[in-house]
Amino acid sequence: MQSDIPTPVSKKALWSGYIMSALPVLMLLMSAVMKFVKPRPVVEGFAHLGFPESLALGLGILELACTIIYLIPRTSILGAILLTGYLGGATCATLRVGDAFFGPVILGIFVWGGLFLREPRLRALIPLRH
Instruction: Locate the domains of the chain by residue range.
Output: 11-124
Give per-residue pLDDT as tens, 34-46: 999 999 999 999 9
Give per-residue pLDDT as tens, 13-38: 899 999 999 999 999 999 999 999 99
Using the 8-state DSSP alphabet, how is residue 74 labeled? Answer: G
Query: For the whole prediction, is pTM greater than 0.85?
Result: yes
Give per-residue pLDDT as tens, 57-78: 999 999 999 999 999 999 999 9
Contact 30, 117 (CB under 8 A): no
**Distance in angstroms (rounded) separating the CA atoms of residues 72 and 76:** 6
